[in-house]
Amino acid sequence: MQLFSREVIENRECETLAAFAVKSGQSQGRMYATSVDSYRTCFQRDRDRIIHSKAFRRLQAKTQVFVSSEGDHYRNRMIHSVECAQISRGLCRTFGLNEDLGEAIALAHDLGHTPFGHAGEAAMNEILQGFDLHFEHNEQSLRVVEKLEKISPDFEGLNLTKEVLDGMLKHHTPFDRPKMKFVYSAHLEGQVVDLGDEIAYMSADIDDGLRSEVFSFEDLRGVPLMREILERVSHGYDLGIFDETLRARVSNALMRAMVEDVSTESQKRLLENKILTLEDVQKYPAVLISFSPDFRIALDLVRKFLLENFYHSPRVKAQTDHGQSIIRDLFSAFLKDPSKLPERARVMMADGERIEVVVKDYVAGMTDTFAERMWSEM
Ligand code: MG
């Protein structure tokens, strides 16, 4: 029998993936040259480094929308990253793109997220602006994999391939960077993850919002796309269906609708713009992996609903306000007394890093639970 060695997989990629896909055998490589692996491609190896990183393990106790203590079935940021990776892999497969590259980017995209979700991120950004700095979780994710993780005495960070870093850098959703200029990806795999992220959190937030009873099926009927989905998935169940089953069907149907729209619209764009090679992708001045304009409008109404009825609901807000004050208190406590920082942070300061940056790295890296514990101790 023949083993699936790295070379075999690399050759298979060239034979089976689309011409515009990134091939692992043609990677631009890593910042620090290393030997190649016998069995894994460079992107598979990146994915493995990400999964085995400390920052990835901490995602299990970081809020997505609901703090983890609310219940076992709400998403935390690790589950969100896994869901994002699953959707991204599926889309990559549909388009003939490199699944391993998409998976690695998806698993890493939120590594730099603060505790306490987007509210935590907003608080951190506000604090840093007082020091002429800013906080943005995509940038911090890059900092985690390029600097903060320490797995080898020979290099800083995880030493990932250029392609994974590119995908992380260009990662954006309207939610992530509301005011920032739109940037396009160096490859379609990165664009897939941008959408995979959005598909994952939109469908999950509908599920989590219903589960927590922060909003109801009835409330959802006020949103055209959700009303249409609700009618479709409950059709034929004259005796009614359990709320739990209906919830699953609604969130799955939304996910499916998003995946189907992205697939048909992106295929259309790739064909119409005669995108054949990776070079064509990089030369094209707009996104190619996208929702259709009409669907985008419908989806924006779902997002608006979630914003008003979930993210800004009194119950979620009570949690996030508490999280924001924890971040502010911890930040000023470490700033006042740097001896409370861990050794690694103090070494970074001795190497010339600004204290505000070191404290930002430390606090942003914390899980909700760790931050909460430190805060009560202090
Ligand atoms: Mg995300």
> pLDDT digits over 125-179, tens only?
999 999 999 999 999 999 999 999 999 999 999 999 999 999 998 654 444 444 4
295 with 261: CB under 8 angstroms?
yes
Residue located via tokens 């002429």: 132
pLDDT tens-place string over residues 290-331: 999 999 999 999 999 999 999 999 999 998 899 999 999 999
In a domain, 305, yes or no: yes
Residue located via tokens 């807000």: 317
In a domain, 197, yes or no: yes
197 with 106: CB under 8 angstroms?
yes
Mean pLDDT value of segment 43-66 = 94
SS3 of residue 180 by DSSP: coil
pTM exceeding the 0.85 threshold for the entire prediction = yes
Ligand 1: centre distance to CA 225 (Å):
22
Ligand 1: centre distance to CA 83 (Å):
10
For residue 181, name the pLDDT band (cuts at 50, 70, 90): very low
DSSP tag of 295: H
Whole-number pLDDT of residue 68 = 62
Range of the domain at 97: 6-377
Question: What's at 44, amino acid-wise?
Answer: Q
Residue 69 pLDDT more than 70? no
Sign of CA dihedral 65, 113, 23, 10: negative
| H-run or E-run covering 225 | helix 224-234
| H-run or E-run covering 162 | helix 162-169
Ligand 1: centre distance to CA 310 (Å):
17
Ligand 1: centre distance to CA 292 (Å):
21
Ligand 1: centre distance to CA 138 (Å):
9
Q: What is the mean pLDDT of the chain?
A: 93
In a domain, 1, yes or no: no
**DSSP secondary structure string, 46-96?**
HHHHHHTSHHHHHGGGSBSSS-GGG-TTS-BHHHHHHHHHHHHHHHHHHHT
Ligand 1: centre distance to CA 254 (Å):
17
Quick one: angle between helices 314-336 and 368-377, nearest 10?
60
In a domain, 14, yes or no: yes
Ligand 1: centre distance to CA 152 (Å):
28
In a domain, 25, yes or no: yes
Geometric angle at alpha carbon 111, from 105 and 112, rounded to 5°: 125
In a domain, 124, yes or no: yes
Q: How far apart are CA 15 and CA 23, in angstroms?
A: 10
Residue 34 pLDDT more than 70? yes
Ligand 1: centre distance to CA 272 (Å):
30
Ligand 1: centre distance to CA 285 (Å):
24
Ligand 1: centre distance to CA 197 (Å):
5
How many folded domains does the chain comprise?
A: 1
In a domain, 314, yes or no: yes
Mean pLDDT value of segment 8-29 = 97
CATH number of the domain enclosing 120? 1.10.3210.10
Write the secondary structure of 247-274 as one string of H (helix), E (strand) and C (coil): HHHHHHHHHHHHHHHHHHHHHHHHHHCC
In a domain, 359, yes or no: yes
Residues within 5 Å of ion ligand 1, judged at the Cβ atom: 110, 197
Mean pLDDT value of segment 357-361 = 97
Ligand 1: centre distance to CA 314 (Å):
23
